[in-house]
Amino acid sequence: MDHIKLRAATMSDLDDFHSFFSDDDVMRYWSTAPYTDIAQTEKFLRNMIDSEWNGVCDFAIEYAAPPVAPRAIGKIGLWDGHKIGFMLDRAFWGRGLMTKAMSEFLSDLWKNDKMEDIKEIEADVDPRNDASVGILKKFGFKETGYRERTVETHLGWCDSLYLKMERPAAVTK
């Protein structure tokens, strides 16, 4: 059985993070090209670890299926205070693991006293990224807008589909 948990990132995650940050398919809709040097991943991971939000609203997604040792297979979290981002190692796509991670993330986020000032979460997604749009909509994110040519990435100019989820009215801690 597949088991995941959200946890703070550590430097021991470097090789695992590099496996997905260097993957063309995983990085297709990210704002940068796939990382070609592990030093790029190390810089990203170090910034994540050094943030006060590591393990609070920014997490490594850990996979465990004994007898295989647990490993980081993705990340999920907020950036810029209220914008959600997530990615998953391609080897784990299609197994419902991001659905499990998103469920745990949102449940914990709304119950966390440190996050009580967050009234909504926003997403800015490349509209071609059907999987991410699908996950967000599954959890109640609603489309709020669409803009063409919002960011130039390794793919060229990309459009943005904007989605939003408001804090649930009643959250039990």
Compute the C-alpha angle 84/81/115, nearest 5°: 95
Between CA 82 and CA 131 the distance in angstroms is 21
| pTM higher than 0.95 | no
Q: What pLDDT score was predicted for residue 173?
A: 53
Look-up of token digits 């009234």? 119
- Average pLDDT for residues 134-156, to the nearest whole number? 95
Q: What pLDDT score was predicted for residue 153?
A: 87
Buried b (16+ CB within 10 A) or exposed e, 135-158: bbeebebeeeeeeeeeeeeeeeeb
Model pLDDT for residues 143-153, shown as the tens digit of each residue? 999 999 998 88
pLDDT class for 172, splitting at 50, 70, 90? low
Model pLDDT for residues 38-87, shown as the tens digit of each residue? 999 999 999 999 999 999 999 999 999 888 789 999 999 998 889 999 99
Look-up of token digits 């039990």? 172
